[in-house]
Amino acid sequence: MNKKRVIVGLSGGVDSSVAAYLLKEQGYDVIGLFMKNWHDDSVTISDECPWLEDSNDAMLVADKLGIPFQTVDLSLQYKERIVDYMFKEYENGRTPNPDVLCNREIKFDVFMDIALELGADYVATGHYCRKAIIEKNGEQIHQLLAGVDGNKDQSYFLCQLSQTQLAKALFPIGELTKPEVRKIAKAQDLITAEKKDSQGLCFIGKVRLPEFLQQQLKPKEGVIVEIPNSFDGYHKSSPRFDSKESELAFYAQKFEYSVSDGKVVGKHQGAHYFTKGQRKGLAVGGTVEPLFVIDTDVNQNIIYTGQGNKHCGLYRSTLFVNNDELHWVREDLQLSEGENMSVKARIRYRQALENATLYKVESGLYVEFENKLQQLQKANLLLGISMMN
| Dihedral over Cα of 387, 348, 50, 84: its sign | positive
Triad 102, 103, 106: Cα angle to 5°? 60
What CA–CA distance (Å, rounded) separates 152 from 216? Answer: 34
Compute the residue count for the chain.
Answer: 389
Which residues contact residue 227 at a Cβ distance below 8 angstroms, ignoring those fewer than 6 apart?
257, 261, 262, 294, 304, 305, 306, 313
Yes or no: say if 191 and 60 are a contact pair by the CB < 8 Å rule. Answer: yes
Residue numbers annotated as active site: 102, 202
Distances (CA, A) of 78 to 41, 101, 122, 201, 379: 16, 10, 22, 11, 23
Say whether 200 sits in a helix, a strand or coil. coil
Distance, in Å, from the CA atom of 194 to the CA atom of 210, rounded to the nearest integer, reads: 31
CA 270 to chain centre: 24
